[in-house]
Amino acid sequence: MTQKTCKQCGNQFEVFDADATFYKKVDVPEPTLCPRCRQERRLAFRNERTLYPRSCDLCKKNVVAIYPADVPFPVYCNDCWWSDKWSGLDYGIDYDPTRPFFDQFIEVRNKVPRIASLVITSENSEYTNNVGNLKNCYLLFAAEDDEECMYGRLVHNSKNCVDCDNIYECERCYGSLGLRNSYNTHFSERCQTCTDVLFGFNLSGCSSCILCTNLRNASYCIENKQVTKEEYEKRRAEIMASRESLETAAKRFEELKAGSIVKFADIIKCENATGDYLYNCRDTIRAFDTMNARSCGYNNDTLDPTDCYDTNNCYYKPEMCYEMMGVLQAYNSKSCVYVFYASDMLFCDSCHNMNSGIACVGVRKTDYCILNKQYNKETFEKMKAEIVERLKREKI
């Protein structure tokens, strides 16, 4: 392990031996920024929850978008963006070795149309973003396979849930965080397989509980004490009778949480893994909200990754990826955002079903492209080697 100083915030950070092995494996230099600053840089490319009214620059219909009207590039509605009415190759430029590389990339980024919002195969769910397979949802973000849900983030496979964050397979839940497979559970945190719970913390397999913490397979409890069904129903009705009684119960809940034993982290079925909200991970460093990771590090909200470092919102088995944000099933790719079903990508944005791209934006179903211009494989590989060598020489 070596200690380094972040060139942005000035804080010390570690580069572990496993980190150094990964950097050599994917042929990148060791980072000069600490993990926090690296994540801030990635998230600078992600507007998840701020929506704007504007018109599609192609069909002119009114849309809800993650871009305001004054951005330099065109913004298309979903139908127009995914259509064959335009091509990312129409905006390609020749690579100029005498110009700064990223000046050329920015030139392309400021010309290529962007999708108004990432809403895929959804019905009556326009006021959402980074979502898929929704029906009748409103102000839901980074969510999929939901119905009749509102005001939430990281809501998955759920129905009739409101004001929830990071929940999976839940129904009729409200104001809760970190639920799994729960029903009619309100104002609760870190609960799984629970039913009819009100103000529960770290419960598992519980039903009909109020203001309880750290219970397992319990029923009809109030403040961790066994009560009758009638006592439970009376107390629940009293709490739900008014806003004042709810606020009083919420204050009591905070007191109970403060006095309860708290597990250091939710790490389940993991080996040699550090972080929180981890499931079935192995040899993984400082990851959060991550499942089924193998030999990874500094991952956030990442599903099934192998040999991936510094990822946010990456799903569908990414492999050999570094500094990626919002990607699906990417392989051997670095420093990309919103790249779906692609491999061997470098500094690409919103490219899908593509292999071998450098500094491309909005290119689909096309291979061997640099700055949105396509080449044959031999020319591409030669230019790629020149560009990578230049970036290493300039320490970019």
135's tokens: 């029906």
396, pLDDT greater than 90: no
First to last CA, the chain: 23
Instruction: Yes or no: say if 371 and 382 are a contact pair by the CB < 8 Å rule.
Output: no
The separation between CA 195 and the C-alpha centre of its own chain, rounded to angstroms, equals: 28
Non-local (6+) Cβ contacts of 264 within 8 A are none
pLDDT-above-70 percentage for the chain: 100
pTM of the full predicted structure?
Answer: 0.92
Q: State the pLDDT at residue 322.
A: 99
Instruction: Yes or no: say if 347 and 339 are a contact pair by the CB < 8 Å rule.
Output: no
Q: What is the 3-state secondary structure (H, E, C) of the chain?
A: CEEEECCCCCCEEEECHHHHHHHHHCCCCCCCCCHHHHHHHHHCCCCCCCCEEEECCCCCCEEEECCCCCCCCCEECHHHHCCCCCCHHHHCCCCCCCCCHHHHHHHHHCCCCEECCCEECCECCCCCEEEEEEECCEEEEEEEEEECCEEEEEEECCECCECCEEEECCECCECCEEEECCECCECCEEEECCEEEEEEECCECCEEEEEEECCECCEEEECCEECCHHHHHHHHHHHCCCHHHHHHHHHHHHHHHHCCCCCCCCEECCEEEEEEEEECCEEEEEEEEEECCEEEEEEEEEECCEEEEEEEEEECCCEEEEEEECCEEEEEEEEEECCEEEEEEECCECCEEEEEEECCECCECCCCEECCEECCHHHHHHHHHHHHHHHHHCCC
Mind listing the pLDDT tens digit for each residue in 223-277?
999 999 999 999 999 999 999 999 999 999 999 999 999 999 999 999 999 999 9
Q: State the pLDDT at residue 395.
A: 80
Mind listing the pLDDT tens digit for each residue in 185-215?
999 999 999 999 999 999 999 999 999 999 9
Choose among 87, 359, 105: nearest CA to 369: 359
Query: At 122, phi and psi to the nearest 5?
Result: -125, 160
Confidence of residue 4 (pLDDT cuts 50, 70, 90): very high
Mind listing the pLDDT tens digit for each residue in 144-163?
999 999 999 999 999 999 99
- CA-to-CA distance for 139 and 125, rounded, in angstroms? 8
Domain ranges of the chain: 2-44, 129-259
Mind listing the pLDDT tens digit for each residue in 333-370?
999 999 999 999 999 999 999 999 999 999 999 999 99
Choose among 85, 281, 262, 289: nearest CA to 178: 289
Mind listing the pLDDT tens digit for each residue in 15-59?
999 999 999 999 999 999 999 999 999 999 999 999 999 999 999
Mind listing the pLDDT tens digit for each residue in 65-111?
999 999 999 999 999 999 999 999 999 999 999 999 999 999 999 99
Residue given tokens 């964050």 in the structure block: 165
